[in-house]
Amino acid sequence: MGTDNKQLNEISKFLSYVLRHEPQSIGLQLDTEGWADIEGLIAGAAKQGRTLDRTIIRAVVSTNDKKRFAISEDGAFIRAVQGHSTPAVQREYVETEPPETLYHGTATRFLESIREQGLKAGARHHVHLSPDKSIALAVGKRYGSPVILEIQALRMYREGFKFFLAENGVWLTDSVPTRFF
């Protein structure tokens, strides 16, 4: 069976689902840093009739457009580097000083609520920010007509807000009050 982009993309979506959100859906255990045993992942997927092997998992990890996943140095474990909603995972990211400005892409229909409440993490564990406007635009487009919010990240940091940089370049913070827009 050929491993075309469509197939890799489809497996990436499956991995996002089980490694970020619903590991229990295939009986998979994640540790607090998000690591799952690759053999357990293959076995859990097989129970749902989904055939995976180490070669295709490695291909998904290495070709992934947003570098969403990482494999441990010993090759035994895999994790999503950010984007979790499952309470099983509480990653300890390294706190990092952010650049002056970071961007958050959202949909215009969320703006009224965001202007009232600021940015909230929602189901995921953090608010996701990007140093790149075009990435923020693409993120916003997933939910409708997109809009980019410019966040005064360095000012937030200097006022005591924590920022974390995930291994794939996505910036994370707990919430963004409106005074930093």
Residue 130 φ then ψ, to 5°: -130, 145
- Single out the residue of 70, 78, 89, 139 in contact with ligand HQG (rule: CB under 6 A): 139
The CA angle 34-35-41, to the nearest 5 degrees, is: 115
- Mark residues 41-80: x for contact with ligand HQG by CB under 6 A, - for none: -------------------------x-x------------
Strand order through the sheet with 36-37: 36-37, 77-80, 69-71
Query: What does the H/E/C string look like for 126-143?
Result: CEEEECCHHHHHHHHHCC
Of the pair 43, 174, the CB lying nearest ligand HQG is at 174
- Single out the residue of 106, 125, 156, 180 in contact with ligand HQG (rule: CB under 6 A): 106
Structure tokens at 97: 């000083």
Structure tokens at 60: 């998904």
Is residue 181 part of the contact set for ligand HQG (CB under 6 A)?
A: no
Is residue 134 part of the contact set for ligand HQG (CB under 6 A)?
A: no
What is the binding site for ligand HQG (CB under 6 A)? 66, 68, 83, 106-107, 110, 113-114, 117, 119-120, 122-124, 128, 139, 143, 170
